Every structure is written in structure tokens, then in C-alpha cells.
Structure 1
Amino acid sequence: MAFERPRSHQWVLRLLLLVSCVSAFYIPGYSVTRYNDNDPIPLLVNKIFSDHTQLQYAYFDLPFVCPPSGRTHGGSPFGSGQSISLNLGEVLRGDRIMTSDFELLMGKDVECESLCTRVVSRSDVKWARQLIKEGYVIEWIADNLPGATSFVTVDRSRKYYASGFKLGYRDISPATGQSRYFINNHFTIVIRWRSAAEGGKVIVGFEVYPKSITAEGRKEGGCPKAVHKDNEGQELYIAPNLSRMQEKYSGLSYIPEDDDDDDGATLQIPYTYSVYFREDTKVEWNNRWELYFTNQGESAITHWLAIINSLTISTVLGVTVFVIWSRTVQGDIKGRGDGAMNDQKAKVRSRRRSGKSEKKRENLLDGEADVEHDADFSSEDEALEDTSGWKLLHGDVFRIPAFSGLLAPLVGSGMQLLFMASGLLLLSCLGVLNPSFRGGFVSVGMGLFVFAGLFSGYFSGRLYKTFGGMAWRKNTLITALLFPGLAFCLVLILNLFVWAQASSTAIPFSTLIGLLALWLLIQVPLVYLGSWVGYVRAAPWEHPLKTNAIPRQIPPQPWYLRSPIGPLLTGIIPFAVLFIELLFVFKNLWQDKTGYYYVFGFLSAVSTVLMVTVVEVTVIATYSQLCSENYHWWWQSFLTGGSSAFWIFAYCIWYYLFKLHVTGFVSSLLFFSYSFLACAVYGLLTGTVGFLAAYAFVRRVYSAIKVD
């Protein structure tokens, strides 16, 4: 017993650790941090980002800002510059959160406090000017709120936030007409709070007002003499070394104004900050994030128009599917009953035989009558073809498609993505995935994708068994490695370009190893387990009709049913359903990174209508193809369901050319690569939905036919 007590204590400690981790999960309204007067408020620095480029940089990696001193503040055991533990989503989105030297005490105003005086070289000044030119903004964090720039509407009726604040600004010199760049080196921090019902104070707003103040004429401690008055800005400019430039560019008729070569000249940039606490009773702690949702109220009407547009298109297609099912399919089945096709063929043959015997017996008809009699038979054949063209494929409609060993893994991967997307939308609508759960959307999405390997393996294995495949382990490996492997290789190649730019957007090597382990050690076994259940334990999907030994000849097809014209044309309809909502998604992803997309209720509604539309379009296209006596519907249905991805990627190209102002080769490469990857994910998902809808439709239609 003496040896069991330490083990029991260890289990208790582990349980308490697990409970503490669970309680740390942030849900609005529950995980509230309350402060008393003079309690320290940690201010964390994160990164800088821009709407004109996809490259981000960690704040402390900038050579022209105050580096961390390593001192501890507010009783914290960690000194400044200490990295904060990040989840997978935060790392992948480029966050690099660290503690800082800013001292914030609840309720204590600070008029001015010196942070440091940074000495920068000529090359550092040039990089700072370039970052300001590209419109970079800084992101700080306090009480899980990003530091925001405050705006007021024109009628001053509403206030809203934009995440981050400008690194600096550019001005035009009235004397020379050239651009001058100024860096913001004084920060006025405003913490808005309100009293909590349980006692203490809670933070409901975190605003930062940057300002550029020259280094000249300051007090002894480094603070400006008049912080809140108009001051001359701190220009990022080092006078050129004329003697060195003349020596370097001797013999040239033109001497560059900006010399890239560091000659030892430096520029001193003093950094200071002010802190003010203001009570705000208009904002509740539970809805403090609503200020960051810019233009959400004004865009609600547009979202409703998007839903109405989607419902209109889906309703029209639904009526078409209903007409096809009720009049054509159900009418043919009910009108003729089982074996109707054979009965119809027997009637035509009997008419032909009786006509021929009459002709031989009577021998009274002339040549014109013979032609008329043959025309009657041909009209009967055409009527049979028109009324039951899809029925003539009863011996070929379930023929195994070409490259079935590739179709099964693609359908399995599509089911995996469908489960992931459904889970993300559901959790977002419930409020579990919210902006306060930083990086949660990506982290939970990765977890759902890995867990959904069970569904991927199951559907791939069972469909592969239905196709008559024998090497199910090979099919399992293809399913587990195909899509994740291609995505991982693409990210790895892109990461090399981002690493070369020293950007925080680059995924650390340790994270790449973790992703590789997550893929190979967790997802692959789950896919194998699901495939074993789908292939070994489950029975294949049974087809109601047998397949003929000799394939039927396919007649010439109309131009609108041929590949790839047919799928591309049908893809316009789902794209029209999703088009309006894509405007908001693209704007928040690429054009306005300071805002937050948080209208998942509208997105879920549009996504639901989109899936219904994909099903309807695929069913109509499949039925039209079968009526044209073309039994190659397997791949065609998959391509039809996912064809709207082509139009979305074309829209990405248009958006890049006419809406974005992306600069640099690497940023453009990232935009098109990630857009292609997103469209591939969307195409796999909707293609799988279309394939399963067509498969269910074909099985249901042909199950009512019996052929002797």
C-alpha cells in the first residue's frame, strides 16, 4: 500500500491539471478576468501585418522598435520577451505573442513614461520606410483583446474598432514634393472598463492612439514636453554621406539619393507611452467584441439578399427535379409497371411481325404503302426511345467506371472535408469558435480533419469494394496520403519562400514536424481503421440491375453534355448561389485584415442552400445524360458537383487584378497558391456531395425496373 499512494496522488494531480486546462477554455460570458485597483494588466505584443501583402513579421523582430529588456513587471514570473504558448491555429496564422515592458496598473493613469531610445542604422530606416509604405499595422493584446484604432460613424451615432494601429505614416514634402516617412513612437493607451456584478473591474475596450513625436526638445527622462499637443513628427531620415557617395559613385553622372550601404550613420528614435483608464457603462463584457465587427449591421441586408437569391435559385431547380421525378420517372414506372421495357419491346416486335405477315399474305400494297408502313415502325421506335431512353441503359448504368481506384479515394477525402466543414460551421454558430478563441478555427478544423479520417477510410473502402476492387490496403494508402500529402507538399514549398523573407508567416520547423506526426501517426491509422470497417466488415452497396458483358455503344452526345463543357456550364449555378457571400469572405480574408468575419449564421444558411443546389444540379445533369444513353455518369457527376470551384478560382483571379493591391512576388504566390488549395478543398467537398446524390438517384430510379 505504501507504493500505491504516490501513484494515487499523481492521478489526482493529473486530474486537477486536466480540470484547469478545461476551465481555461474561453467561452463568452464564463471566462471573465476581473481586476482590482493597481492590479497589473499584461500587455502582449504580437506582430505587424498589412492588407497589401501576405507577409507578416513578429513585433520584436523589427530592428527599429524597443527590444525586450527581460525585466519582470507586475509580479509576473516571466520577464519581457518571453514567448506565450500558442495553439496550432495561432502558429499557422503567423502569431508570435510575447510579453512586453509596458506597465499597466488597473485604474492608474500615466501621463508619459519612457520605454527606450532605439538607435537604428541606415538599412533599418530603409526597411521601416518600406513597411510604412506598404501600410503595415501593429497588433498588441491586453486581456485577450487586440489593440484597436477607434472610429466613429459620420453621424456620430455609432463607434467601431479596427484591429491594430499604424506603424507610421507618409507625407509629401511641400518644398521638394517627395515622400517623407514618419514612425509612430508615442502610444496613448486607453483601457475602457466597467464594474463587474461579482466585484472588481472588467475590461471592455483596448484602444491605442499612436503618434509621431520628434526626438528634439524632450525632457530629461525622454518624454516630450507637450505630449498631447501638436508636435513635429519623428521622420525616418538619415542625411546621406556625400563624401562617401561621391567616392563610391565617382565617374557617374547620377548619384542616388538613398545609399543602401551602411556607413555607420545612425538615427535615434525615442519611444514613450501614456496610459489612461476610462469607465464605459455602455458596453457589456459579453458583447465587447461586437465593436470589432465592422459594418456588420449595414451588411445584414446584403446577407439577407444573398439568402433570398440562393433560395430562389434552389427553389427553381427543386421544381425541375420534382417534375423530372413525378412525371418522367414515376410516370414511366407507374404507367408500365415491372418489366415495362420488355413489354414495350415485345409489342413493337409483334407489330412488326404481324405487319410483315400481312404484307406477305395479301401482297396488295404498292411501294408507296411499303414506305409508309416502314415509317410507322420507325415512328414507334422513336417513341420508345423518347419515353424510355434512360431505361435502355439498364445493362450498363452500373458498369464500373474507368479509374475507379482514384474515384474512391477522392470521394473518401471529400467526406472527410464535409465532416470538417460541417463541424466548423456548427461550432461557429453555437459561439464556441469566436474571435476571442484566437486560432481556434484553424486548430479545431485540423482536429476535425484528423478525426474525420475514419469517415474518409470507411466511404473510400466501401465504395472501392462496390467497384470490385481487391487491393483494399493500397486503396487505404492512396486515401490517407493523396490529398493530405499534396496539401502538405504545397505548404512546404510555399514555406521555403516565406522563410527567405524572414516572415512570421513561415511555419516553424518544429510545427511542420508536429503536423507530419499528426498526419502519419494519427490520421493514417484512423483512415486504415475506417477502411477496414468499410471494406472488410461492411457489405458493398448492392445494385438493383446486373451489368451486361458487352458495353453498349454510346450515341453522339449534345455539345452541352460533353466534358468539360457540361460540368463547367452547370458549375455557374452553384457559384451564383455563393457569389454574394464570397464578397464578404474575400474582403475579410484578403482586403481588410483588421476586421473580423463573424456572420457564420448567414454563411451556414447559404452553405446549406448551396449543398441542396449542388444536389439538384447534379441530379438534373445526370438524368439528362442518362436520357442521352450515356452511362458514364460516375465521373461526370463528381465533376458536375465540384465544377463551381473553377468559377470561384476565376473569381479569385478577377479579385486579385481589380480589387487587391498586393505587392511582391511572394505575396502574389501565396495568394494564388492558397486560393487554389481552398478551391481544391471546395471542389472535393461539393464533388463528393454531387456524386453521392447522383448515385442515390440512379439506384433509386433503376431499382423500380426489373429486366428478365
Structure 2
Amino acid sequence: MCRTWRIRLGFLVACLVLLSTTSHADEHNHIYDERDEVVLWMSTVGPYHNRQETYSYYSLPFCKGPKEVISHYHETLSEALEGIELKMSGIDIEFLVPVPKQKYCSVKLDATKYKDFVYAINNQYWYQMYMDDLPIWGVVGKPDDRNPDTYYIWTHKRLDIGYNGKQIIDVNLTSESKVELKPGKTIPFTYEVIWKKTNTLFKDRFDKYLDPYFFQHRIHWFSIFNSFMMVIFLVGLVSMILMRTLRKDYARYSKDEEMDDMERDLGDEYGWKQVHGDVFRPANHPILFSALIGAGYQITAVVLFVIIFAIVGELYTERGSMLSAAILLYAITSPINGYAGGSLYARMGGRVWIKQMLLSAFMLPVLVCGTAFFINFIAIYYASRAIPFGSMVAVTCICIFVILPLTLVGTVFGRNLSGTPDAPCRVNAVPRPIPEKKWFMEPMIIIMLGGILPFGSIFIEMYFIFTSFWAYKIYYVYGFMLLVFIILMIVTVCVTIVCTYFLLNAEDYRWQWTSFLAAASTAGYVYLYSFYYFFFKTKMYGLFQTTFYFGYMAIFSLALGIMCGTVGYTGTSAFVRKIYSTVKID
């Protein structure tokens, strides 16, 4: 059932954005008859210490086998964006047909080819292959342990293929026959195929790539427990504010209302009630603010749905399916963006709604694509695996012909259905002066402190996510991720409510941007953590690897910040409306 769901999801993605060039046969249904063609795809090659720095497999002077034509080929947009490039190996493999050791090609080393192989060996280059969607890794070669000027390359690929019925279950590569590299030498490459029957079920074939010890050891469970206790503490703190502190405020304000005007003027009035005429004043820069809120709603929906689909459908087992699902979901959830941003902008009295809609639709895609294309230019300079021009055109078409129209539809519905101002208090014509307050009650300080606890709730999970993306670990514990996501949302809302209460109690009504940025500052701490991870947990170096790492971490942090900021503002907005709607205002 899960397998059928994944196939249908891939089909929908292909139809929506023209992701596939062809889509039929073996690798899609994973069913083979005896002597059916089995394709060995050569994918990428790159340094072991940075799995995201990839080059085409044939950027090194490897040779192809004699087979020139295959019955099917496919590469999706998500594969192209992830740097997955499939090239036919030319090696002839048929289902259940063993192949004894035999030569499939040879390479004569000139000075250039020799230097390329030596550079790859010195930088610990690994290459990746695929067979029936199963990833296979191999090492290019190794230096001599006793003589550092001598290098060896592995020339024999032994493929042990496990099968169950008509399905391929397991593929193991053994690199053998190391040959010394010397300029002018002709190096033959050989392969061997051995078929072995296994009792492992097809649905369990990906388990060998998972590392349960890494993802489910004690520190993971401890972090969840620690975050859960933080949630209980914060919910209790907010409840205390709502039930005790606000009750005292209400009692004090009710007593003030019983005084006559002379007593009230001589009294010492203070607190959040004093800004009732300004608290619902539209935020500064309403176009940008409403666009960020709209994008935040969309990102939150996409993240939640992707996590759920990953749990139900095990998307990590399908090459590029995670990114395909994200692209599909981001496109079809565009009405959420338009509805949330458009209705908020209308309630703030905004009139330039087309400008707001365009900013809401294109703000995040432009930032993401701009960063990715900048990194892409650097990748082209370094001859790395770059995003093809056709993929850039496809992404542009998605934004113009899918995201923009759906955002327009959502904006129109949002303005007409929930775009009427409905603040419980009348807004004063002239803004009230903001009194002086202690330094720790300034909005900038609140913003800086607001992200500490939310970051603390996801700190451990960030390590696992970073390791799965930047190292050779496959992230599959999406049940943990869903739990951490829920905890993050609760902690973010609680923290921003507390921060906003203190801000309003200091008679500062600039709560909209403060609540958004206080929650969004979580992303700032994540980005700072990425510096620690880069210098102490990776072995990356050089302009390309540094730009690649910090560029994509900036995209990740930006999306996280917009999501947290939106959740924080939404919870705080409900809190503010609640406390002011229950107070009698003269």
C-alpha cells in the first residue's frame, strides 16, 4: 500500500511540473522476469568529507562499457536539483543471469588523466551508483601506505545481487584488483555479477542503509524528554499569566473604573490596558509583514504534510521523492499563502493588494532560487554537478504558472471572506507615546532572548538533521521529527506570549513585529550552530564547499525563521485579542 502511494505521488509530481522525460518499465514497478535488462547507473563522484559536493561520475577519466542502448531512462526535476545525475554505465546485466569476471573497457593514462585520478585519491573520492533505485557506493582508489607517491586504483567491480522472486532486494559492491597508477599505462576495468536468493522482503530492503544505533540512542530520547518537560513548564507559565496575573490586572482595572475622573487622574495607572487604543494599530510595513505571515503559513503546512507523508510512505527510500513531495506540496498549498497574507493585509487596511500578493508569492522562491543559482555559478566554475538550465526553466514555470495563480485565488478569497477589520478595541487617531522602560524590556532584547528556548527544544534534533544532510546518514526517524515539530510549535507560542505580555505591560504596543521576530530568532541560533557544526563536525574547506554549506544553511534557517515567526505571531495574536476583548474599555 505504501509502495502504491509513493508511485502515485511520483506520478502526480511528474504531471504537475513535467518532471520526467519517460516513466515506464522495470525501475518503476521493480518487477523483473528472467533475462530482463537491469541497468547499472553511474551517478556522481566527490570527496567523502562533503557528500553535497558532487561531480559527474565521468568527470574522472573512467570509461564506459560496450552497451550503448537501454530500454528506458528517466531523471526528475528533484534529482537534478539534488545533484543526482544518472549516466548509463554500458555494463550488460540481465536479471538472474550470472556474469563471470570479464573486461568491459580500458583507459590509457596520459598525464592529465593520471593527475585527475591522483587528485581524486588524495581527496578520498567516492562514487555513487544506482541499481533498481538502490544506492551503491565505491571508493576510487587508495595511496600506498608505505610510499605516499604511489597510488592504486580499484579496477574490478564485483556485484553481489540479492533477489526475492522477481524483485531485487540487495546490491553489494566489492572493489577488488588494485592497480598502480602510472602515466602511459593502460588500465583494464572488469566486472562480475553474482545472483543470490534472499528471504528478505521487498518492503524491508532499505533497512540495511539505516543506522538505528545513531538515531535512537539514549541522547535522542533524553532530548525528547527534556523538550517535553520544557513544554510543561512553559504551558504552566502561560497558564499562570492567564489565570493569576491577568486576573489581578482585571481586578485592578475594574477598581479603577469605579473611581471618578478626579481619582483616576490622580491614580497610578499603568499596564497593558493603557495601550488599548494602539495595540491593534497596523504593523509597520504591512505589505512585507503580511507576505511573511502568508509564506509562514504555507511553509508550516508543507513541513507538516511532508513529515506525515514521510512517515506513511517512507519517502526516504525513493530517490528524489522527498524533494518531489516538497515541490508538489509547496505548489498546491499556495492558496494558503494567499489567503493568510491577503486577509491579514486587508484587515490592516492595505489597498495595494496586487503588490502584496506578488511579494507573498515570489518572496521565498526568489530568495531560495537566487541563493541556489548563485551557488550553481560557483559549482560551474569548479566543474561540479550544477543545476541544468532546463531545471531552472522548470522551476521558473512552476512559480509563474502554478504558484502565482493559486496564490491569486487564495488572496481573493482571503480579502473577501476574512479581510474585514474586526479589532475588539477602537484604534486611536494619534499614536500614544511609548514611555521609557528598563533596558531588558526593549523589543530588540526581547527578540534576541525569544529564540533561546525554542532553539533549546530542537537543538539535539538539529544535530541529527545536519548529519543526515552533510554526512553519510539517511534520516528516517520522522516520528521523532513530528514530535519535535509539535514541541517547537508549542514552545514558540508560549515564549512569544510571555514576551508579548511583558512588552504590553511596559506600555509598548509594537507587539506584531516583536512577536514575529522573537520567534524567528530561533533560526538565528540555528544558523550560529551551523558555524559550530561546520568547523568542528565537518572537514570542508575552500570557497566552493564553504559557500555551498553556508548558502544552503541560510535557506534552511530562513524557512525555519519564517515558520517559527508566523506560529509565534499567530498564537500571540489570539492571546492579545483575548485579553483585550474581555476588558471593558470606556
TM-score w.r.t. structure 1 length? 0.76
Secondary structure of residue in 2 paired with 1:184? strand
1:77 to 1:411, Cα distance in 2 relative to 1, 3 A: closer
Where in structure 2 are the equivalents of 1:463-474 lying within 5 Å? 463-474=344-355
Conservation of the 8 A alpha-carbon contact between 2:316 and 2:474: no
> C-alpha deviations, 1:119-153, integer Å up to 9, x for none?
13212221222122222212122222112xxxxxx
Which of the residues 54, 57, 60 maps onto 1:59? 57
Aligned-residue offset at 1:101: 2.3
Question: How big is the alpha-carbon RMSD for the aligned residues of Structure 1 and Structure 2?
Answer: 2.4
Find the aligned partners of 2:249 and 2:203 in 1 and give their Cα distance.
60
Structure 1 residue corresponding to 2:284, chosen from 402, 411, 422: 402
Letter in 2 for 1:314: V
Q: C-alpha offsets along residues 152-206 of structure 1, whole Å, 9 cap, x if unaligned? A: xxxxxxxxxxxx12111223335xxx34321111111101123xxxxx3432210
Match of 1:267 in 2: 185
Q: Which moved more, 1:522-531 or 1:41-50?
A: 41-50
Corresponding residue SS for 1:544: coil
Letter of the 2:458 partner, please give it: L
Question: Alpha carbons of 1:352 and 1:692: their partners in 2 closer, same or farther (altered >3 Å)?
Answer: closer
Matched, 1:639 2:514: no
Q: CA deviation at 1:234?
A: 1.4
CA distance in 2, matches of 1:306, 1:541: 43
Is the 1:41–1:106 contact (alpha carbons within 8 Å) kept by the matching residues of 2? Answer: yes
User: 1:235: which partner in 2?
Assistant: 180
Name the counterpart of 2:9.
none
Could you say what secondary structure the match of 1:117 adopts? Answer: strand
Matched position secondary structure for 1:89:
helix
Please say if residues 451 and 519 of structure 2, whose CA atoms lie closer than 8 Å, have aligned partners that are also in contact. yes
Residue in 2 that maps onto 1:422: 304
Which amino acid in 2 is paired with 1:586? F
The offset of 1:25, in angstroms, is 10
Q: What is the Cα deviation at residue 432 of structure 1?
A: 4.9
Pairs within 5 Å for 1:318-397: 318-333=235-250, 335=251, 340-341=253-254, 344-347=256-259, 349=261, 381=268, 384-385=269-270, 389-397=271-279
Query: Which whole-Å CA distance do the structure 2 matches of 1:608 and 1:420 have between them?
Result: 14
Matching residue's letter, 1:474: K
- Out of 86, 97, 116, which is 2:105 matched to? 116
In structure 2, C-alpha distance between the alignment counterparts of 1:630 and 1:700, rounded to whole Å: 18
* CA deviation after TM superposition for structure 1 residue 45, in Å: 1.7
Query: Equivalents in 1 of 2:364, 2:71: separation in Å?
Result: 45
TM superposition shift of 1:466: 1.0
2:43 matches 1:126 = no
Q: Which runs of 4+ in 1 moved over 4 A?
A: 348-353
What secondary structure sits across from 1:398 in the alignment? coil
Match status 1:42 vs 2:39: yes
From 215, 222, 233, give the equivalent of 1:305: 222
CA–CA distance in 1 between the matches of 2:453 and 2:365? 29
**Structure 2 residue matching 1:234: 3-state secondary structure:** strand
Q: Does 1:189 align with 2:101?
A: no
Equivalent-residue separation in structure 2 for 1:297 and 1:288 (angstroms): 19
1:580 and 1:546 map into 2 onto residues whose CA distance is 45
Quick check: 1:641–1:686 contact (8 Å CA) kept in 2? Answer: yes
2:205 corresponds to: 288
**Counterpart Cα distance in 2 of 1:300 and 1:554:** 51
Tell me, what secondary structure is at the counterpart of 1:463?
Answer: helix
SS for the counterpart of 1:132 is helix
Partner of 1:33: 31
1:102 aligns with 2:88: no
Letter in 2 for 1:309: N
Give the Cα separation in 1 of the matches to 2:475 and 2:46.
Answer: 17
Residue 337 (structure 2) pairs with residue 456 (structure 1): yes
Q: 2:451 aligns with which of 571, 575, 581?
A: 571
Query: Contact (CA 8 Å) 1:125, 1:237: kept in 2 or not?
Result: yes
Q: Aligned in 2, Cα 1:485/1:629: closer, same or farther, shift over 3 Å?
A: same
5+ residue gaps, structure 2 = 1-13
Query: What is the rounded CA distance, in whole Å, between the counterparts of 2:466 and 2:206 in structure 1?
Result: 21
In structure 1, the residue corresponding to 2:180 is in which secondary structure? Answer: coil
**Count of residues in correspondence between the two structures:** 565
Matched position secondary structure for 1:400? coil
**Aligned-residue offset at 1:49:** 3.2
> Retained in 1: the 8 A contact 2:215–2:464?
no
1:498 and 2:416 aligned: no
Would the alpha carbon gap of residues 634 and 302 (structure 1) be closer, same or farther in structure 2, given more than 3 Å must change? same
Secondary structure of 1:193's aligned partner: strand
Asked if residue 207 in structure 1 is aligned to residue 85 in structure 2, the reply is: no
AA partner of residue 140 (structure 2)? L
1:245 aligned partner: none
**1:35, 1:390 → 2: CA distance?**
74
Q: Partner of 1:406: helix, strand, or coil? A: helix
Counterpart secondary structure, 1:598? coil
Task: Indicate how the Cα distance of structure 1 residues 185 and 500 shifts in structure 2: closer, same or farther if over 3 A, else same.
Answer: same
Task: Name the CA shift for 1:535/1:292 in 2 (closer, same or farther; >3 Å).
Answer: same
Report Cα offsets for 1:621-646 as digits up to 9, x if no partner: 01111111110101000001111101
Aligned counterparts of 2:160 and 2:67: Cα–Cα separation in 1? 25
Q: CA deviation at 1:300?
A: 4.2
TM-score by length of 2: 0.91
Structure 1 distance, partners of 2:502, 2:124, is 53
Q: Is the 8 A contact 2:141 2:152 kept in 1?
A: yes
Residue identity opposite 1:613 in structure 2: V
Q: Is the 8 A contact 2:443 2:503 kept in 1?
A: no
Of residues 151, 170, 179, the one that matches 2:143 is: 170
* Separation in 2, partners of 1:352, 1:598: 63
In 2, the alpha carbon distance for the partners of 1:179 and 1:659 equals: 29
- 1:310 aligned partner, one-letter code: S
Separation of aligned partners in 2, 1:569 and 1:621 = 9
Task: Note the C-alpha offset of 1:399.
Answer: 1.4
Q: Residue in 2 aligned with 1:583? A: 463
More helix by share: 2
Deviations 1:457-507 (A, max 9, x none): 111111111111111112112212222222222222221111122222x11
Q: Offset of 1:69 from its aligned partner?
A: 3.6
Q: For residues 418 and 261 of structure 2, what CA distance do their matches in structure 1 show?
A: 44
Aligned residue in 2 for 1:141: 130
Structure-to-structure mapping, 1:503-522, within 5 angstroms: 503-504=384-385, 506-522=386-402
**Residue by residue, what CA displacement relative to the aligned partner does 1:292-331 show, whole Å, maximum 9, x if unpaired?**
0024476343322221111011111010001011112245
SS at match of 1:237: coil
Offset, 1:118: 0.9
What does 1:632-671 align with in structure 2 at a 5 Å threshold?
632-671=510-549
After superposition, give the CA deviation of every residue in 1:642-667 in whole Å (9 maximum; x if it has no partner).
Answer: 11101100000111111110132111
- Single out whichever of 298-307 and 138-147 deviates more from structure 2: 298-307
User: Is the Cα–Cα contact under 8 Å of residues 60 and 68 in structure 1 kept in the other structure?
Assistant: no
Mapped partners of 1:586, 1:41: distance in 2:
34
Query: Offset at 1:691?
Result: 0.8
The corresponding residue for 1:246 is none
Letter in 2 for 1:187: K
> Helix, strand or coil: the match of 1:643?
helix
2:501 to 618, 623, 633: 623
CA distance, structure 2, for counterparts of residue 568 and residue 465 of structure 1: 30
SS in 2 for 1:320: helix
Q: Identify the residue that residue 225 of structure 1 maps to in structure 2.
A: none
1:346 deviation in Å?
Answer: 4.8
- Structure 2 residue matching 1:139: 3-state secondary structure: strand
Cα shift at 1:679: 0.3
8 Å CA contact retained: 1:33, 1:143: no
Q: Is the 2:64–2:90 contact (alpha carbons within 8 Å) kept by the matching residues of 1?
A: no
Distance 1:545 1:56, change over 3 A: same
Pick closer, same or farther for the CA change 1:298–1:93 going to 2, 3 Å.
Answer: closer
- Deviations 1:27-78 (Å, cap 9, x if unpaired)? x9x9452443x44422222122334233212223332x11354534xxx546
Measured in 2, the distance between the counterparts of 1:449 and 1:424 equals 10
Aligned equivalent of 1:487: 368
Q: Is the 8 A contact 1:411 1:459 kept in 2?
A: yes
Identity %: 28
1:670 deviation in Å? 0.7
